[in-house]
Structure 1
Amino acid sequence: MSEDEKLLKEAKKLPWEDRLLHKNWKVRNDANIDLATVCDSITDPKDTRLREFGPFFKKTVADSNAPVQDKALDALIAYLRAADADAGRYAKEICDAIVAKCLTGRPKTVEKSQMVFMLWVELEAVEVFLDAMEKAIKNKVAKAVVPAIDVMFQALSEFGAKIVPPKRILKMLPELFDHQDQNVRASSKGLTLELCRWIGKDPVKSILFEKMRDTMKKELEAELVNVTGTARPSRKIRSEQDKEPEPEAVSEVVHSGPSKESAADVPQEIDEYELVDPVDILTPLEKSGFWDGVKAAKWSERKEAVAELTKLASTKRIAPGDFTEICRTLKKLITDVNIAVAVEAIQAIGNIARGLRTHFSGNSRFLLPVLLEKLKEKKPTLTEALTQTLQAMHKSGCLNLADIVEDVRTATKNKVPLVRSLTLNWVAFCIETSNKAVVLKVHKEYVSIFMECLNDGTPEVRDAAFSALAAIAKL
């Protein structure tokens, strides 16, 4: 028996950790091979040995000896195939070690590392996986960045957007578009196109294009023409693998003519709001001189101050905060003697409603009476601004039909016919864009209001009341 054989034979008597971290690389190599064999033999994910083995891998995958590191990855793959989501407790340290030590290795090492990442996603450690990818793409060595982008592409492509959150990937892409390495840029372009297949071209373009160089935009625009077909997940997370298959599909397909799609071919509804981070607008507003501007004697200065708020609030998603004083000020400005100032204030409210959504509910109820009262003005620009803002407040979830019953009842008794008719038009819009269950809860109150308005002396009010009744009848 050779010295090496004697050493390996004696080493097998040692505890797992001593073998896996032994000073002799051959012992470590042999230990990883044995560990992989044991993991392959485990059929119960609750086997207590899996808890024992889990902490070993954060060190073994970082082995300085390349062949041993390969065998450690083999053992980890076998371990993850045997384990269940409980193994996620070890995910962060293992993923960080792989990012630090494996992605610049030999092609086979990189490939096995990617297999490990995919198995972590399968075991529902997707957030840890994406945290690791955020670190990987910051590596100064381009050779380590490309595999990270490619495995995100693979994860999204195989598991789909319901498992791999597009928002996290969208946040990573901008810094990759300007990367010095052309392979990184090419991979990031491929990942962007894959995102388009899952969440649609428009959300991706809206969020990313403003952060791209013109050259990259042109390249992507040319490629986007070819993004058709239906994106379907081809792989399930472990906990779903034994369940009955459910049809699922999302796509960015523009169909012409009558649709004959099955339920499985309907594109996924993607809310762009959920894909972006909230933006603080209160801090820059304070610095803009808003509070002095809205008190200015000159109407142009008041309008300019509110226009700055309108601009800041045009961001897709606004960070919640205390907007109470701003809304008190806007309430006064709605009735400003200068129509341009009033229109600007109304538009600002609409933007805030779109950006804050349900976080603007209380302030929306506070502003609603004065907005409805303002419908009496016959200026088209004012009417248009009011209509857009009122619709935005409902569509964004700031107000629902139950919230506005009493305000509507009051407005339909307003002495100005225009207030009555335009309020009814708005309520008809709210009914048409509301969930049926919501309408059914309050339809009795609204029907009584509309029936009363059918006797109004003004034809426009009667017509609007009839349209509102028709909207309920369609449900």
Structure 2
Amino acid sequence: MADQEEDFSSLPLTERWVHKNWKVRKEAYEAAAKEFESAQSENDPTVRTFTNDSSLWKGAVGDSNVAAQQEALGSLCSFLQIAGTHGCTRTRSLTIVPIVEKGLAATRPAAKQKALEAILLYIELDKPDPIVDELLPLLSHKLPKIIVATLSALREIYHAYGCKTVEPKPTLKILPKVFGHADKNVRAEAQNLTVEFYRWLKDAMKPLFWNELKPLQQQDLEKQFEKVKDEPPPKQERLLRSQQAVEERAVEGGTDGADVDDVGAEPEIDLEPEYMAVNVMPKIPKDLQDRIASSKWKDRKEALDDLHTAINHPKIEDGPFNDIIQALAKCMKDANIAVVTVAANCIEIFARGLKKGFSKYRNIVMSPMMERLKEKKQSVSDAIGAALDAVFAATNFGDCLEEILGFLTHKNPQVKLESTRFLIRCLRTTREAPQIPEVKSIADAATKLLTDSQEVQRSAGAEVLGTLWKIMGDRIMNPHLDGLDEIRKTKIKEFYESAEVKAKYKPKSAPPPKAAQGGFGAKKSGGGPGKKPTLGKRPTPAVAAPPAEEEPAAAPLAPRPTSRPASAVAGASKLIRPKSGIAAPGLKRPGGIPGPSSVSGGASPRRAAPPTLESEDELSPPRAAPATHKLGLAGRGLTGRPLGKPVAEPTPVSPPAPPSGLTGLGTAERAELEELRAEVESLRRSNEELKQERTKMSSQINELQNQNAQLIEDHTRDVLSIKAKETQLVRARSDAEAAEQTVLSQRREVERLKREMGRLTRGDLGPVSPPSSYTPSMTGDIYNDLNGATLNGAGGLARSRSQAGTGRPPSLILEQQQREDGIGKENFASETSVLGRNKLSPVRGPDGGLSRTSSSASGTSGAALSGNGVGAGAGGAESWKRAAEVTQNLKARIELMKAKQGLSRPH
């Protein structure tokens, strides 16, 4: 046994590493761990051996013996500590799956802990994405315990490194599948992982997977969320090696703790789902522009609905959408709110789909949308507000601020209020803190809103200041809040405490002062005239300057510059001369003192400056004149000439003059600077006036276009109304003509019936001759009955017969008949008289001629009919009884005659 142990120990480490005896392997793992811990760097031979032959780790971490596997996992952790990033990247693709299947799913807690530490080290040494990509496929493993181990590892990863370092979206998307697993342990571990996500992301994670869960699962998760809802925001517990390096550099640079956190911080968590960009141009209708320009609102809405369907994709490929965006901007002025709502939805889809690519269209749609915020219907305001939020998300705060502030002073209270609310949403969602000038503009506009007549507008202005205060801090906002009363400050303080913002202002630290450098930049950095730089290395002894009375000694030096090219001298003077052009006034100095400039030569005007100067600011030109003759620079060019060196001979200023009080700018420079500042201020005012005028004109144009659209709609409605009235008139005329035709046909039918009745009546009375003993009253009754039969037809004859048997006087019967028939007494009497004459004209007497009684009877009948009764027409001479008997006799005879002719009808 002892011989075997000596043989095993004599074997190379790599051979013992793969030995069939688990004890030998275990000892090899322990020996390797000791060597890794004692290694000085990743270049150690043992470390390099296991780095180059990474397949050794695959079998070790998945060792079938649990005791040996535990030591192998410990050895792997020691190896990763010394091997660094190179060893991590070479081995992780072979070890992650065995670590999870054999290590995290092991029964020994020590093995589990070492396996988890190895996974965290793999993330720390490089980056977490490859490790997460290796772990996610294991969530589809057939063994539930492997899925539980993987979920536990993911939870520890996000707990240690946070969602800012480890991308959460891939894991969030796969959670619904895990929640649908049949094993309760898997679902429980998935719930723990979801709670960990909630600690970091809160409700922002829900859009990625929440709707795919069952309602009961959602309720259970909400209960778990309530337990951690009030916990402080979590912090990253472990740092990546790259983050550790940044932190160390920041500490060495003397930055405070807050700056260290900022330097090492990762970008904001992006929970937007990843989509492929879709080319929507082929799907957009070709006749979209014509349909949007239609005069019918239904056509316009249908066109926008088709556009909405075509572009409704999470991510849109950029294309030539300029005409479409302009058409949507025009739709913001549409009189129909349904068209406006759909157009706003389309703009929102474009902004969210194009993202930063939509920024070039912002100036087209933003002003029309904010102008349409005057609509009081909530659905329209919500649609436009969502579109504005999407436009802001696609741009940045500085681009949108100018237009927003312009609408905060709008004359329409609804537009002003909604614009203020939009500004509040922008401050809450922006990730870039406003600049100091922007803060002043926002604070001034919001302060004016605090004095508005409407309480809701005053509250909105206070919320703007409170949200801005949350972003910028006390130091920046205190000057803007000092002049407010305590009530308003209290209100602003409430909004400050409740505001939730994503941006935080951090003042930039001042850059370290730059070291003084020789060159032209030294003058601009604040150096006085006595500290002018030189192009190259200059001699130092020319510090002492002779007194001013030695100025004439400079006269013989004037011809020397002629040995240099005039262009070189001019170029040198340009290099020394400030950009504002101070040399020009130097040519016109008063006093008429001759100088070197009078000599024929290409000398610089600065060398020709007279010794007598009017101001202290003009001291710099003469002090800049170099003594080039001492260096012999005739053929050496500009690089050897100390152009900025003060000369000793011609300087008129005594050395004690302190240069510290000079600003480096001459009088002319200051005057020119003031003029430029005044011009800039004038241009700024003109620009503001033009912007206000443009806004005013845009508002008027919008109003006129709205009025024009309303007039067009009214005109269309009037035209339709006129057409409807014309249609009704045509129908009425047609009905009137049909009624006239009906009346004419009825009249003809009445005439025909009258003629037929007359013919029948004449046929019945033709052979009848009255008896010799009848009286005028009897004749009147006869004709009265006949007239009633003629006028009333068979019904009248039947009524007359029925009334004749009542025993009432004929006059009463006649009056009753007149009341029933609705005919006036006079007309009835006249018609009866005429009828009587026509009917009795054929009756002849016994002598063969017309009977006088007939004519008298006719007159008597007319008199009787025109009076109140038969008795009244006869003067009251006859007895009523006699008249009734005669009438009955005549009636009976008439009935007998009709029966003979076949005209009688059964009763």
Q: TM-score, normalised by structure 1?
A: 0.71
1:275 matched residue in structure 2: 271
Deviation for aligned residue 1:75: 0.9
Q: Which runs of 5+ in 2 are unaligned?
A: 442-680, 700-907
Cα 1:5–1:453 change in 2 (3 A) is closer
1:199-238 equivalent positions in 2, closer than 5 A? 199-200=201-202, 202-227=203-228, 228-230=230-232, 231-238=234-241
Aligned to 2:82: 82
Task: For 2:420 and 2:687, locate their aligned partners in 1 and report how far apart those are by CA, in whole Å.
Answer: 14
The letter for the 1-side match of 2:209 is L
- State whether residues 33 and 75 of structure 2, in contact with CA within 8 Å, keep that contact through their aligned partners in structure 1: yes
Moved more, 294-303 or 2-11: 294-303
TM-superposed CA distance for 1:183, in Å, is 0.9
The equivalent of 1:471 in structure 2 is: none
RMSD, aligned α-carbons: 4.6
1:7 CA drift (Å): 3.3
Number of the residue aligned with 1:332: 327
Q: What's the offset of the Cα at 1:80? A: 2.1
| Aligned counterpart, 2:864 | none
Q: Which has the larger radius of gyration?
A: 2
Matches within 5 A, 1:67-466: 67-90=67-90, 91-99=92-100, 101-108=102-109, 109-200=111-202, 202-227=203-228, 228-230=230-232, 231-238=234-241, 243=248, 246=257, 274-280=270-276, 282=278, 291=285, 294=288, 299=299, 301-308=302-309, 312-313=312-313, 318-325=314-321, 328-335=323-330, 339-364=337-362, 367-368=364-365, 372=368, 375=371, 379-380=375-376, 384=381, 387-388=384-385, 391-398=388-395, 401=398, 429=423, 433=427, 435-437=433-435, 449-450=687-688
CA displacement at 1:18 relative to structure 2 = 3.0
Query: Equivalents in 2 of 1:68, 1:240: separation in Å?
Result: 34
Q: CA deviation at 1:398?
A: 2.7
| Alignment match, 1:30 | 27
SS of 1:234's equivalent in the other structure is coil
- The residue number in structure 1 matching 2:858 is none
CA deviation after TM superposition for structure 1 residue 223, in Å: 1.3
**Are 1:5 and 2:5 counterparts?**
yes
Over residues 345-366 of structure 1, what are the superposed CA-to-partner deviations in whole Å (9 max), with x where a residue is unaligned?
A: 222212332354213223445x
Q: Is the 8 A contact 2:397 2:426 kept in 1?
A: no
SS of the residue 1:235 aligns to:
coil
How far apart are residue 103 of structure 1 and its match? 4.3
Q: Equivalent residue for 1:52?
A: 49
Secondary structure of residue in 1 paired with 2:195: helix
- What are the superposed Cα offsets for residues 75-122 of structure 1, whole Å, 9 maximum, x if unpaired? 102212334333331222222342455444434444432221122223
User: 3-state SS of the aligned residue for 1:282?
Assistant: coil
C-alpha distance 342-428 of structure 1, shift in aligned 2 (>3 A) = closer
Shift of 1:128: 2.0
Question: Aligned partners of 1:58, 1:147: CA distance in 2, in Å?
Answer: 19
Structure 2 equivalent of residue 468 of structure 1: none
2:150 alignment partner AA: A
CA contact (8 A) 1:20 1:28 kept: yes
Q: Secondary structure at the match of 2:165?
A: coil
1:188-237 Cα deviation digits (max 9, x unpaired): 1111111111222x112333321211111000111111112222333333
Calculate percent identity across the aligned residue pairs: 21
Aligned partners of 1:153 and 1:194 also within 8 Å = yes
- 2:422, 2:689 → 1: CA distance? 14
User: Is the CA contact 2:278–2:316 (under 8 Å) kept in the aligned structure 1?
Assistant: no
RCO higher in 1 or 2 (8 Å CA, sep ≥ 6)? 1
**Counterpart of 1:226 in structure 2: which amino acid?**
K
| Bigger mean CA offset, 55-64 vs 292-301 | 292-301
Distance 1:384 1:155 in 2: 44
> For residues 165 and 292 of structure 1, what CA distance do their matches in structure 2 show?
42
What is residue 256 of structure 1 aligned with on the other side? none
CA contact (8 A) 2:138 2:147 kept: yes
Distance 2:121 2:241 in 1: 9
Please give the alpha-carbon distance, in whole angstroms, between the structure 1 residues aligned to 2:425 and 2:222.
Answer: 39
Equivalents in 2 of 1:457, 1:354: separation in Å? 27
C-alpha distance in 1 between matches for 2:373 and 2:24: 87
CA distance in 2, matches of 1:456, 1:359: 26
CA contact (8 A) 1:45 1:83 kept: yes
Match of 1:466 in 2: none
CA 1:124–1:319: 2 relative to 1, 3 Å: same
The more displaced of 372-381 and 99-108 is 372-381
1:278-328: per-residue Cα shift (whole Å, max 9, x none)?
A: 234737x689x7537957685353243244357x35xxxx33513434x63
Q: Which moved more, 1:182-191 or 1:392-401?
A: 392-401
Q: How has the CA–CA distance of structure 1 residues 348 and 66 changed in structure 2, closer, same or farther, with 3 Å as cutoff?
A: same
For structure 1, list consecutive stretches of 5 or more residues without a partner in the other structure. Answer: 249-262, 462-475
Alignment coverage as a number of residue pairs: 419
2:272 and 2:3 mapped to 1: Cα distance? Answer: 62
1:425-475 residue CA offsets vs partner (Å, 9 max, x unmatched): 58994997474339669x8888755456679998xx9xxxxxxxxxxxxxx
Q: How far apart, in 1, do the equivalents of 2:372 and 2:173 lie?
A: 45
Please give the alpha-carbon distance, in whole angstroms, between the structure 1 residues aligned to 2:170 and 2:380. Answer: 40
Following superposition, the deviation at residue 393 of structure 1 comes to 4.9
Relative distance call for 1:233 and 1:308 in structure 2 (3 A) is same
Mapped partners of 1:187, 1:447: distance in 2: 65
Moved more, 43-52 or 162-171: 43-52
**Contact 1:177–1:188 (8 Å) recurs in 2:** yes
